[in-house]
Amino acid sequence: MAKKMHIKLTVNGQEEEFLAEPRELLIHTLRERLNITGPHIGCETSHCGACTVTVNGKSVKSCTMFVAQADGADVTTIEGLGSPDNLHVLQRAFKENHGLQCGFCTPGMITRASKLLEENPNPTEEEVRFGMAGNLCRCTGYQNIVKSILAAAAELNSAKEAAE
């Protein structure tokens, strides 16, 4: 067994420090070690996106990143996006637009969408479909996911306009 490494992470604003084998995958750090079970495991080959989190401002599939690679990083998961009293606009939009069914892809889907809307606050439907193509859903056929994200974008934009 390889020597354990000293890892420091910030997850959803909380600092974490522990020893881990270099081969430990970030998704297992989150789920097994830190009990952050929002991100899910669907394929372990970075195809499905159920494990999507944000690492240092970028969407990352945490099933194919070693925690050693994330040493010192700032990680945000679905749990860090909103709270029961203050939901993220995407969390509300997915419910309003029936953008989920079994819910297994949803945490990764919303986490990815939150980055997409930061990268492109006013996307076309085509841009949403392209930008979300790394996240698979087996239930919804994507139509209402796309609708949810466009609705969230519209809400964010009108809030921004009102503020200006």
Partner 1 sequence: MNKEITRQERADALGGMGCKRKRVEDARFTQGKGNYVDDIKLPGMLFGDFVRSPYAHARIKSINTDRAMALDGVVAVLTADDLRPLGLHWMPTLAGDKQMVLADGKVLFQGQEVAYVVAKDRYIAADAVELVDVEYEELPVVVDPFEALKSDTVLREDLVAEDGSLPDGAHGPRKHHNHIFTWEVGEKDATEQVVSDAAVVAEETMYYHRTHPCPLETCGCVASMDKVNGKLTLYGTFQAPHAIRTVVSLISGIEEHNIRVVSPDIGGGFGNKVGAYPGYVCSVVASIVTGVPVKWIEDRMENLMTTAFARDYWMKGKIAATPEGKITGLWCHVTADHGGFDACADPTKFPAGFMNICTGSYDIPTAYLAVDGVYTNKAPGGVSYRCSFRVTEAVYFIERMIEVLAIELNMDAAELRRINFIKKDQFPYQSALGWEYDSGDYHTAWDKALKAVDYEGLRAEQAQRVEDFKAGKTRKLMGIGLTHFTEIVGAGPVKNCDILGLGMFDSCEIRIHPTGSAIARLGTISQGQGHATTFAQILATEIGLPADNITIEEGDTDTAPYGLGTYGSRSTPVAGAATAMAGRKIRAKAQMIAAYLLEVHDDDVEFDVDRFVVKGAPEKFKTMKEIAFAAYNQAIPGIEPGLEAVSYYDPPNMTYPFGAYICVMDIDVDTGVTDIRRFYALDDCGTRINPMIIEGQVHGGLTEALAVALGQEIAYDDMGNVKTGTLMDFFLPTAWEVPNYETDHTVTPSPHHPIGAKGVGESPHVGGVPCFSNAVNDAFRAFGLRHTHMPHDHWRIWKTANELGLHG
- Residues of this chain that interact with partner 1 (CB under 8 A) are 1, 21, 23-24, 28, 31-32, 35-45, 47-48, 50, 77-79, 82, 84, 87, 90-91, 94-96, 98, 100-107, 110, 128-130, 132-146
Per the listing, tokens 């195809």 go with 47
Q: What is the smallest separation between the CB atom of 69 and partner 1, expressed in angstroms?
A: 17
Least distance to partner 1, CB of residue 129, Å: 4
**Residues in CB range of 78: below 8 A, 6 or more apart:** 38, 39, 106, 107, 108, 110, 111
Which positions ≥6 away from 132 have C-beta within 8 Å? 109, 112, 113, 116, 142, 145, 146, 149
Please report how close the Cβ of residue 74 comes to partner 1 at its closest, in angstroms: 18
C-beta of 8 vs 95, nearer to partner 1: 95
* List of residues 6+ apart from 110 with CB closer than 8 A: 78, 81, 88, 90, 91, 94
Output the smallest distance, CB 61 to partner 1, in A.
12
Residue 15, beta-bridge partner list = 10
Q: Which is nearer to partner 1, 8 or 23 (CB)?
A: 23
Based on CB atoms, which residue is closest to partner 1, 134 or 163? 134
Q: How far is the CB of 163 from partner 1 (least distance, A)?
A: 25
Distance (Å, whole) CA 44 – CA 28: 11
Q: Which is nearer to partner 1, 140 or 163 (CB)?
A: 140
Do residues 114 and 88 touch, judged by C-beta distance below 8 A? yes
Q: Which residue lies nearer to partner 1 by CB, 49 or 73?
A: 49
